[in-house]
Amino acid sequence: MGSLSDYIESYLKLLLDNGPHDCVEVQRRELAERFRCAPSQINYVLSTRFTVERGYVVETRRGGGGYIRIYRLDEEPETSGIHMVYESVGDAIDRKAAEDLVARLVDMGVLDERDAACVRAAVFDQEDTEAPELERIIRARVLRAILMLMLTQPPTA
């Protein structure tokens, strides 16, 4: 008989396999209720079984309207871009590193020039502030959010 973590992992992989995309969105509370466990057990499974090294990216938002999104990575350029975003953008990022990341995504063909211009406008909008560390933290959050949105949405016709 498998462990609870094995069952949770299998369930999430089944959702990924049966979904229309290589992405699934669930709520932590609902998973905890389904498996009759603490939300921390869900966190444990996500942090140990759904890692970038294993081919997954997990995006979470806590709170009442919170969610968990799990993306399955493959060798497509878009998902290698996702992988790069999660490797390159930590809790904070300076202007130069952010610009280098955007330029690399353009060079790879993951972002076109129009999308890159939108990212630059969102991330490099402000001049240096009195609180440079706070600016780097905000830049990282905005950069990660906008790139994940752009890289995970299907192309429009």
Q: Is residue 157 part of a domain?
A: no
**Of 23, 101, 2, 125, nearest to 69 (Cα)?**
23
148 and 84 in one domain?
yes
Number of domains in the chain: 2
Task: Please identify which residue in the block is written with the tokens 């998973």.
Answer: 31
In a domain, 62, yes or no: yes
Question: Is residue 40 a contact partner of residue 98, using CB atoms and an 8 Å limit?
Answer: no
**Band (105; pLDDT cuts 50, 70, 90):** confident
Whether 104 and 142 share a structural domain? yes
Using one digit for the tens of pLDDT, what is the confidence trace for 5-16? Answer: 999 999 999 999
CATH number of the structural domain spanning residue 21: 3.30.56.130
In a domain, 52, yes or no: yes
The answer to whether the CB of 68 falls within 8 A of the CB of 29 is no
Q: Where are the alpha helices (DSSP H) in 36-131?
A: 39-49, 77-88, 95-107, 113-123
pLDDT in tens, 17-75: 887 777 899 998 899 999 999 988 999 999 888 876 677 888 888 776 678 989 887 65
Domain ranges, residue 15: 4-72
CA distance 29 to 72: 22
pTM of the model: 0.53
Q: Does residue 24 fall inside a structural domain?
A: yes
